[in-house]
Amino acid sequence: MPLSDLPLPAVLLGIGATAVMDLWLLALARLGVPSSSFALIGRWVGHMGRGRFVHPGIATAAPLRAELALGWATHYAIGIAYAALMLGLAGSDWLQQPTPAPALAFGLATLAAPWLVMQPAMGAGIAAAKTPAPWANRLRSAANHAVFGLGLYLAAAALAALRG
């Protein structure tokens, strides 16, 4: 699939998949399962603009104005970027007739970013190794990214159904 064909479907899939993940996180929160604050992601990204990419603990870094909004915007921008990558890899055939396996596999593959980049840069270590409950955090991340993959599939299936 040419990249010129990706923007609108990538945006729609990214928003849809990220929204599915957010509904999952909301359900978990109502069940008392903790999750990271998007404000901390906004704080991390905001500090990048000031030349600081790595923190011993992002929660202790100086808070920034509008960090929660920046965190949410970053969250959805990443979802859209991942959807564009998924579409680039899967191609137009998958978009026309989506199946869950490639989307779920891709969702799990996106774990590389938080485990190898975000968590270490925010002071949590590789794959949350420096947190009080690393395996619980790893499993929660894996579940969240699997749900994102499911969201990619559901959004693609919805788009395919709309196209008739």
Q: What is the pLDDT of residues 80-90, one digit of tens each?
A: 999 999 999 99
Neighbours of 10 (CB within 10 A): 22
Q: Provide CB contacts within 8 A for 138, sequence distance 6+.
A: 115, 127, 128
Are the C-beta atoms of 108 and 86 separated by less than 8 Å? Answer: no
Q: What is the pLDDT of residues 136-154, one digit of tens each?
A: 999 999 999 999 999 999 9
Sign of CA dihedral 43, 49, 52, 53: positive
Q: pTM of the full predicted structure?
A: 0.92
Mean pLDDT of 35-63: 95
Q: What is the pLDDT of residues 82-134, one digit of tens each?
A: 999 999 999 889 999 999 999 999 999 999 999 999 999 999 999 999 999 99
Give me the number of domains the chain comprises. Answer: 1
Mean pLDDT of 24-33: 95
Question: Residue 128: which domain range?
Answer: 3-163
